[in-house]
Amino acid sequence: MTRETPFRLGVLGSGKGSNFGRIADEIAAVNVPAEVAIVLSDVENAGILAHARDRKIPSQFIPPGKFRTKLDEQSEPAYVRALQSANVDLIVLAGFMRVLKGDFLRAFEGRIVNIHPSLLPSFPGLEGWKQALDHGVKVTGCTVHFVDAGVDAGPIIGQQAVPVLDEDTPDSLHQRIHAAEHELYPKCVAAIARGDISVIGRRVYWKK
C-alpha cells in the first residue's frame, strides 16, 4: 500500500552522525521512502547537528539534564514534545548515548529503532567492537533492533556480520563495523517505512 504522506523519521544522536548522514543520502537517492522530520541531540556541538544544518533538516539541541546516562524529568518530556510536534512515525537512534525510559518508550511504543556495533545479544553496552575483540570472537558485526526497556535488548530487525582479522585493532575493527552499519541501517529503515516488517513476540519478519 502506498502512503499518501511521507513516512517521517525523528533521528536522535550524540556523536558524529555518520549513520544519519547515510540514511539521509539513501533518502535523497530514493532508496529509503521517508523524510527526516527532525534531528535532536543531547550534545550541543555534536557533528550530527552540523550535518542536519548542512542538509537544511530541522535540528535542535535539547539539554539532557542532570544525569549522565539518561534524560532527566524535564528533558524527557521536552524530547517527547519535539518528536510529537514533528509528527514522527519512527524514531531512529543513531549513536544516541542515553538510555530511554518509561514515558518516552510508552509515547513511541514499537516505533523506536537503534543500531548497535555487535551481533546482539553478544556484547551489549559500550564499545561492542572492543568487547568482541577482547573476547576473541572470529565474527562480529552490527545489529538493528527495536528498542524496549532493556539495554540493546529489543527484537532484532537485521544483522550484518564482520569478520575479525588477526591484525585488527579496536579502531580498525570499529571502522569495518561502521561501514557495515552504513549498509544495514538504511535497508532496515526502508523496510519499516515500506510497511514490510512485522513483529511477533521477539521475532521480526520481513515481507518476501
Residues at the site binding ligand GRF, with contacts judged by CB under 6 A: 13, 15-19, 94-95, 115-117, 178, 181
CB of 5 to ligand GRF, least distance (A): 27
Between 19 and 140, CB nearer to ligand GRF = 19
Contact present, 189 and 113 (Cβ < 8 Å): yes
Q: Would you call 116 a catalytic residue per the annotation?
A: yes
- Amino acid, res. 95: G
Between 98 and 116, CB nearer to ligand GRF = 116
Which residue of the chain is nearest ligand GRF when measured via CB? 95
Between 60 and 77, CB nearer to ligand GRF = 60
CB of 178 to ligand GRF, least distance (A): 6
Between 163 and 195, CB nearer to ligand GRF = 163
CB of 183 to ligand GRF, least distance (A): 13
- The C-alpha cell that represents 35 in the structure block: 523524510
CB of 52 to ligand GRF, least distance (A): 12
Classified as helix, coil or strand, 177 is helix
Q: What angle do CA 170, 132, 164 make, to 5 degrees?
A: 70
Contact present, 24 and 103 (Cβ < 8 Å): no
Dihedrals φ, ψ of 196, to 5°?
-95, 5
- DSSP letter at 164 equals P
User: Rounded to an integer, what distance in angstroms lies between the CA atom of residue 185 and that of residue 187?
Assistant: 5
Catalytic residue among 51, 116, 145, 174: 116
Catalytic residue positions, numbered: 116
